[in-house]
Amino acid sequence: MLEPLVDSLIEDPRWEEIDLPALAEHAARAVLADRGLVPEDFEISLLGCDDARIAVLNADFRGKASPTNVLSWPSDERAAEDDGGEPDLPEPFAPGIPEALGDIAIAYETCVREAGDQGKALHDHVLHLLVHGTLHLLGFDHIREGDAALMEEIEVRVLDRMGILNPYGE
C-alpha cells in the first residue's frame, strides 16, 4: 500500500459525498507524475471546508473578504522568472522523508455553485480545481499571459488523462 501523498482534514462533511480525500490524492499524483516527480517523495495538506471558512482564509491571506473555490499556499517560492518558463521543481528532502509542497483549501458551496453554473459534474470540477491547486504548489501561476498558457496546457493534459474534458471549453 502506498503512503498517502495528501493529508486531508475535512471540516465540512458534505465533502464525504464525493470522497474529497480520494479525489485530492488522484489529482496530486497525476500532476506530480506529469512533472516527472515521484509522489512518495512529497506531501500536501488539504482542507475541505465551507464558504465561510474559505472567506476568512481569503481575507487573511489575500485581502479579499469573500469566498473563493480553492486557495493554495506553496511551501517554497518556485515560480519561473521568465513569463511562460518552467518553475523550479522541488527536490525530495531525504530518502523516506517526504518534502512538504504546501497546503490547499477548497470550499464546498462555491464548487457546487460553479459546477452547476458551468454544467459540469461536481466530481470533474473538483478534480480540475485540485489539479490547479497542486500546480500552484509547484510554482505554476496564471497572472502573466505566458504562465497562464503553460498552466492551462498542463491542466488540460492531466485532466484528459483522467478522462475529463477540457475545462476551458476549447
Containing domain of residue 147, as a range?
A: 6-161
Residue type for 113, please?
R
**Is residue 76 included in any domain, yes or no?**
yes
142 is in an annotated binding site: yes
**Is residue 105 included in any domain, yes or no?**
yes
- Specify the length of the chain in residues: 170
132 is in an annotated binding site: yes
pLDDT at 169: 81
Confidence of residue 4 (pLDDT cuts 50, 70, 90): confident
**Is residue 167 included in any domain, yes or no?**
no
128 is in an annotated binding site: no
Q: How many domains does the chain have?
A: 1
**Is residue 169 included in any domain, yes or no?**
no
Looking at residues 143-164, what average pLDDT do you find?
A: 97
What tens digit of pLDDT does each residue of 55-75 get? 999 999 999 999 999 999 999
Report the CATH number that the domain containing residue 55 is assigned in CATH: 3.40.390.30
**Is residue 166 included in any domain, yes or no?**
no
**Is residue 25 included in any domain, yes or no?**
yes
**Any alpha helices (H) in 12-170, and if so which ranges?**
20-34, 51-62, 108-118, 122-137, 145-161
**Is residue 113 included in any domain, yes or no?**
yes
Looking at residues 15-27, what average pLDDT do you find?
A: 97
Q: Where are the beta strands (DSSP E) in 11-96?
A: 42-49, 70-74
